Structure 1
Amino acid sequence: MSNPDRLTGSSISSKLDFPTKLAYGAGDLGAAMTANLLSFFLLFFFTNVAGLDPGLAGLILLIGKVWDAVNDPIVGVLSDRTKSRQGRRLPWMLYSAIPFGIFFWLQWLVPTTDKWGLFWYYVIIAILFNTFYTAVNLPYTALTAELTQDYHERTSLTSFRFTFSIGGSILSLVLANIIFAAFKSNAAQSSGSCSADSLQYLVLGGVCAVIAVLSIYWCVWGIRDRALMAERQRLHAQASEPVEEMSFARQLSVVFSNRPFLYVIGIYFCSWLAVQITASIIPYYVVNYMGLTETDFIQVTIAVQGTALAMLYVWSALSKKFGKKAIYFAGMGFWIIAQAGLFFLKPGQIGLMYVLAVLAGFGVSTAYLIPWSMVPDVTELDELQTGQRREGIFYAFMVLLQKMGLAVGLFLLGVGLSWSGFQERLPCQPAPTQPPSALQAILIAIGPLPTATLICSLVLAYFYPITREYHAEILYRLNERRNARN
């Protein structure tokens, strides 16, 4: 165990060992699996399995995420203020993991055929699930800045995190493919199995919920020693130079007065909105526009996510040489080309569709990696300016915007599909033929909408001010301050 003198600086800025990085990465597996299934399937599930109108389905998702707009900053502040033998972050993950899994599973039930009964059921479950998702995931993301203060080590740690994140996304799709295929096989051998569509989602949700809960516990126990070491260092620093605890309103003021952070949240919001719009419309694009099956949709999505996973390590290595901004520009360039290509694609051009899916994966990878690796740099600038470490509140707004991007994207898609005349599928009935106006709405959602948000993210990234040199200066001044306390 490190002695008190070493805990004042060097131990937390040193490199992390492989098991710690692996355990930390595992913490995002469950969040990624659940978020991925919700992004790709939930709107489609509401309209094509539960039989809800697209506008009503989009409203359910919006209400759930508006609640996230409230609970994210609250959990961020509360986790910053938590006092426990397990530190500030780990208790939140430890005690919220099981409710998180249970309420995720309950989202895939269809308890009634009454549309307003379904509406209120899904609203209540969405609020409860999003509460426990925040309680698990927000303290987890805040740990990035606490486990290490090394600029490149944080990028490496973020790479491990998103290896599990994208890997979890792929795993959820592979499980969906296996489970859906099994149910289709059983349905083909039996009659009167119109409930199979609902049951296959329920089984998929249950399997992924169990994996999600187990991965959270792996993370908690795997990083516990390092997290407690960081907590002792933080308490030692506070004892050396006590600081006045700020009110919630004051902390929000500090967050929004941090100009680099405003660029980061803008970059992340725009890129994540593009991710969510694309993820939510892809099932409709593949099934309704291209005339393929749900299995084909899953394979297209795996092509995107598999490429993104492989490119994480490539972009992480290149960022050390060329910097985060340059890598983000390169990835977004590939992605914009892919989105534009999908807009002009014609039914029957299956091979080209897969090429564009792989190309999109190049950009999706940087959307995962770069904005999250920028946040710890911003929190250090805040510490230099205020004397306090408030990772929780900064990460709260990042997670909030991720969820708000999902909410806005899904709500607009739901309303747009409803206005365009999209026909929802009634339970136990064949899929209806969609009108040309609905197909045109699907094309607009797959092409121009995400392309516009990606271009906005590039403009913001161009003006992001924290370079490697500037970050090195921030760390130097922080170390001087800490050494002066001792």
Structure 2
Amino acid sequence: MKNSDITRKSVLAYGMGGFGRQSLYIIQNTFLLYYFVSVAGLNSAAVGIMMMLAKVWDAINDPIMGSLVDNTHSKYGKVRPYILYGAVPLAISFFAMFAIPQGLGQTGKMIWATVFYVATGMLFTLVEVPSQTLLVRLTDDSGERMRLARAKSVIGTFGVILPPVVIPLIMEKLDDQWLAYALSVGVFAVLIAVTYLAAFAGTKERVELSDSTHIGLFAGLKALFANKYYRKYTISYFVYGAASAAMNGVMMFYFVARYQNATLTTVLALIMMVGMFGASIFGKNISDKFGKAKTCIGGLCLSIAGLLLRVVTGDATMFIMIFGIFCYSVGVALYMACLWPMIGDAIDYGELKSGIRPESMAFAGVTLISKIGEGVSAALLGSALGLIGYVQDADVQTAGAVLGLQHLSSTVPLLFVVIMLVILLTNDMDKKHAEYEKALLAKRGVTA
């Protein structure tokens, strides 16, 4: 029979992993470039290139990690051991990335930044790919996957909100910005480790499949490339990674340059919290009524409307800027609420068509493609700061630089989100899912 009876404890524990993922993600994308450039004093173009080149290794590392997980068999299951043993090293590496020793010279600082940026990316893959794969190891019911995804989105919202609230407040209280970043990121590093370990402790892999057969790396990749739904979802997530990195990476620069106030990230975070929290809670209800595909499309249309408002008005008032970002946040939250369950549905479709089920390779591919999108965006931002005339350590930026920052935080993400919408407009999984599910259960010899 289908495995669909998930306990509340498992739902809560699985959701805890969302805090670890989102807090790491938002801190890295919102504060890291600013920290490297304005606090550590590294060259922005060099940092951007370093971040992009680091993704080349991810292109090799992530699929290998996915293949390793798919072929793992242990007393803890297929994916949970990696969450257990990787959580603490990930937290340590993440902290070190924001704790560059002040006594190092420019070369030493760049080496330190590179080593721990790469290490954090690898360890994030080690933990997050299994954490995402856990979704399809807990249940094979599409509706229950939405329930699990909702829990992860709701709890993950706090990971999105707390860092932009806490870190600027600590920066404002302490004159020593090096110490401010080390203390604040250190606190979140501990929380990242604790929440991932909670996800390990509170869950148990319950879906039993005949998956003892070794899945080769190239066979798994071939099956994924042939999966039309998987291609759509991963390409859309690549573009989302670029859009998110573009907006988050430049907002600190924008607030300081236009409003001379870094703590506006706190206001922004609170506004985003309201939108994302509501969308996360009601995302499942909306998708139950309209389907995951239409919910995604509707969310992206709302994001486009919010960004377009900012572009057309040029953030004429702070209210317009905040309202535009609120609309963007609600829209992408609806997209994210449906993405991971849709990846699960795509994995089921792939098993039906190819006869193999490279679950972790599938989620590793999604993680990889997002990181590549973020890396490309970070590299472009690092170079764009110089092109728009942004002057490091300047008390006042030129009007041209401020305008450039405004476009980097609105026009560039708008273009990316439009591309996401075009990609997903042809997604027909909602119409075909029941048919695919029935055929897959019959192929497994399972009674629905």
Q: Matched residues in 2 for 1:41 and 1:52: separation?
A: 14
- Asked whether the 8 Å contact 1:158–1:369 carries over to 2, the reply is yes
Shift of 1:344: 4.1
Counterpart secondary structure, 1:447:
helix
Find the counterpart in structure 2 of residue 401 from structure 1: 369
Q: Structure 2 length as normaliser, TM-score?
A: 0.94
Find the counterpart in structure 2 of residue 273 from structure 1: 242
Q: Matched residues in 1 for 2:95 and 2:444: separation?
A: 47
- Asked whether the 8 Å contact 2:215–2:356 carries over to 1, the reply is no
Find the counterpart in structure 2 of residue 444 from structure 1: 407
Shift of 1:128: 1.2
Summarize the alignment of residues 34-433 of structure 1 with structure 2, pairs less than 5 Å apart: 34-111=24-101, 112=103, 114-183=105-174, 187=175, 196-224=176-204, 227=205, 229-230=206-207, 233-234=208-209, 237-238=210-211, 243=213, 245-289=214-258, 291-345=259-313, 349-425=317-393, 431-433=394-396
In the TM superposition, structure 1's runs of 4+ consecutive aligned residues that sit over 3 Å from their partners are: 344-348
- Asked whether the 8 Å contact 2:83–2:126 carries over to 1, the reply is yes
Matched, 1:479 2:447: no
Which deviates the most, 330-339 or 348-357? 348-357
Find the counterpart in structure 1 of residue 419 from structure 2: 456
Q: Matched residues in 2 for 1:414 and 1:53: separation?
A: 9
Counterpart secondary structure, 1:28:
helix
- Asked whether the 8 Å contact 1:24–1:219 carries over to 2, the reply is yes
Which deviates the most, 321-330 or 391-400? 321-330
Contiguous gaps of at least 5 residues in structure 2: none
Amino acid at match of 1:435: T
Q: Once the two structures are superposed, what CA deviation does each residue of 1:46-105 show, in whole Å capped at 9, x if it has no partner?
A: 111111221112123223333222211111000011121111111111111111010000
Counterpart secondary structure, 1:223:
coil
CA separation of 1:238/1:443 partners in 2, compared to 1, >3 Å: closer, same or farther?
A: closer
Find the counterpart in structure 2 of residue 191 from structure 1: none
Find the counterpart in structure 2 of residue 193 from structure 1: none
Amino acid at match of 2:139: T
Q: Once the two structures are superposed, what CA deviation does each residue of 1:115-145 show, in whole Å capped at 9, x if it has no partner?
A: 2221111111111111111101011101111
- Percentage identity across aligned positions? 25
CA separation of 1:20/1:246 partners in 2, compared to 1, >3 Å: closer, same or farther?
A: closer
Q: Matched residues in 2 for 1:24 and 1:222: separation?
A: 7
Amino acid at match of 1:21: V
Contiguous gaps of at least 5 residues in structure 1: 1-8, 188-195, 426-430
- Asked whether the 8 Å contact 1:268–1:367 carries over to 2, the reply is no
Q: Matched residues in 2 for 1:138 and 1:202: separation?
A: 27
Find the counterpart in structure 2 of residue 4 from structure 1: none
Amino acid at match of 1:278: M
CA separation of 1:317/1:118 partners in 2, compared to 1, >3 Å: closer, same or farther?
A: same
Q: Matched residues in 2 for 1:279 and 1:250: separation?
A: 37
Amino acid at match of 1:414: G
Q: Matched residues in 1 for 2:317 and 2:177: separation?
A: 28
Q: Once the two structures are superposed, what CA deviation does each residue of 1:380-407 show, in whole Å capped at 9, x if it has no partner?
A: 0111122222111110110011211211
Q: Matched residues in 2 for 1:66 and 1:169: separation?
A: 27
Matched, 1:470 2:432: yes
Shift of 1:246: 4.1
| Equivalenced residues, count | 446
